[in-house]
Amino acid sequence: MVYGHCRRHLLLMTCGGVAVAGAAILGCLTVAATAQQALSGAQKLMTVRASRLPGKVHVLPATLETTQWGWFDNAELPRLTIDSGDTVVFETMSHAHGQLFPGRTIDELKKLRTDWPGRGPMTITGPVFVNGAEPGDVLQIKINKIVARPWGANFNVPGMFGQFPKEFPDGQVKYFYLDWERRLAEFAPGIEIPLRPFPGTLGVARAQPGRYNAVPPGPFAGNLDNRELVEGATLHVPVFVRGALVWTGDSHAAQGNGEVNLTAIETAFQEMNVTITVDKTHKLEWPRIETASDWITMGFDEDLAKALDSAKNETTKLLAEERGIPPERAASLLPALADCRVTQVVDIKRGVHCLLPKDPASMRPVLPRPGAENADYLVTTSRAGAMNQAVDQASWDMIELLQKAKGLSRLDAYALASITMDCRIGEIAATDKSIHCLVPKSLWTQR
């Protein structure tokens, strides 16, 4: 937008302390001042009465003026300014500025990617400037409530993206009715997917100036695609720029741990209700998620093994802090306590997250990593020195198993795995890492 361009231009021209005059700069100043006045006036009309929610309550609708398509820029003009402890009710928009909706063909969806390279598909609402947030602080974003639309979509762009683009030169898009009374979506006759909505993208501005593809996650959070970030959860994320600048979008109704064809059940939220608080007492290098029972640490890298190492380091640090024990002792407890999963393998930087019980006395065992099919799950496993190879093999084996055991087409097997498969990491201290991918048999209403 012109506002962001002017802000960047002004910053560049004044950053050395040199006064620069000229019609272009004055024009930018005039545009920026006018835009700020307009936003200030609009903000008064976005503050509403809702006494049961914390702080002042603001509503930020998703429009072409309040959203960006597929990129972050820390020079983007805030669309809303709030105080620490206030509540924001975000509305979100479907992919490509609302151009994903029932009726769109896969060829049309592919064209939205090929015609607009260098950006992500997601639409993000924001940014929101938080008064008092400064670099080095931590922002707490608690999700109070999510209300999603009644439809969603999963699609595989032919020959592009996803875990296996070469193996799937053909594509498809599937649309779903999201039955929020039953909290289910019918994938196919006799197959029902539980709905568990969460924001695929939630985060703050990165420190580096410029416009960045919103697909890869990082220390700023962003496109986490972490299915544990549901109602009641809190994202703790380090702040890198003044005001933090909060965005959200890429709204999901359900997703597997892996998200192998690049998409979950993609939807949009009528209400993404969050309370945002500035924390000046803690320091973080990487984002964390807090739920009622767990802390969830994260790591990201093109190499899944390096992502796991980052997540393990963060988990060790957290365990030492929370339980007041030396790092060496925390590291020794890690294999017994940290439940590590593959978050996603398709966002340029692959993700790992580890769940750690909040109860300091807890010795809760890590969930099983079955090596073969059992009464509850279809299971595929793979072990390799390279984790990327192991997860690729276990995922591919599951796609083939869904075809052979359940009679799904190749594209439907790919889609169902992307939405429901849970890829768990085996013994995290082992040299060769095992990956265990599970699909619950409870999806099939008639067995």
Each residue's pLDDT, cut to its tens digit, for the chain (447 residues) gives 444 444 444 333 333 343 444 444 445 545 455 556 656 778 889 999 999 999 999 999 999 999 999 999 999 999 999 999 999 999 999 999 999 999 999 999 999 999 999 999 999 999 999 999 999 999 999 999 999 999 999 999 999 999 999 999 999 999 999 999 999 999 999 999 999 999 999 999 999 999 999 999 999 999 999 999 999 999 999 999 999 999 999 999 999 999 999 999 999 999 999 999 999 999 999 999 999 999 999 999 999 999 999 999 999 999 999 999 999 999 999 999 999 999 999 999 999 999 999 998 777 888 889 999 999 999 999 999 999 999 999 999 999 999 999 999 999 999 999 999 999 999 998 989 999 999 999 999 975
Nearest to 420 by CA among 217, 260, 238, 268: 260
d(CA 411, CA 399): 9
Q: What is d(CA 256, CA 416) in angstroms, rounded to the nearest whole number?
A: 9
Nearest to residue 387, comparing CAs of 200, 256, 258? 258
Q: Give the HSE-up count for residue 326: Cα atoms under 13 Å, Cβ half-sphere.
A: 3
Candidate CATH numbers 3.10.28.20, 1.10.10.10, 3.30.70.260, 3.30.230.10; the one for domain 370-447: 3.10.28.20
Question: Hey, do 51-279 and 293-360 end up sharing a CATH topology, with the first three levels equal?
Answer: no
Domain residue ranges in the chain = 1-48, 51-279, 293-360, 370-447
DSSP annotation of 210 reads: S
DSSP secondary structure code for residue 442 in this structure:
G
Rounded Cα distance between 408 and 373, Å, is: 18
**Residue 148 C-alpha from the chain's centroid:** 16
Cα distances from 161 to residues 110, 136, 217, 227, in angstroms, run: 11, 35, 16, 20
Question: Quick one: DSSP state of residue 218?
Answer: B
CATH of the domain spanning 51-279, picked from 2.60.120.580, 3.40.50.150, 1.10.40.30, 1.10.3720.10: 2.60.120.580
Residue 57: CB partners within 8 Å, gap ≥ 6?
A: 47, 48, 49, 50, 86, 87, 88, 89
SS3 248: strand
Counting beta carbons within 10 angstroms of the beta carbon of residue 301, is it exposed (0 to 12), middle (13 to 18) or buried (19 or more)? middle
For residue 109, which of 272, 223, 261 has the smallest C-alpha distance? 261
- CB 154 within 8 Å of CB 254: no
Q: What is the CATH number of domain 293-360?
A: 3.10.28.20
Give kind and range of the element (H or E) at residue 91: none
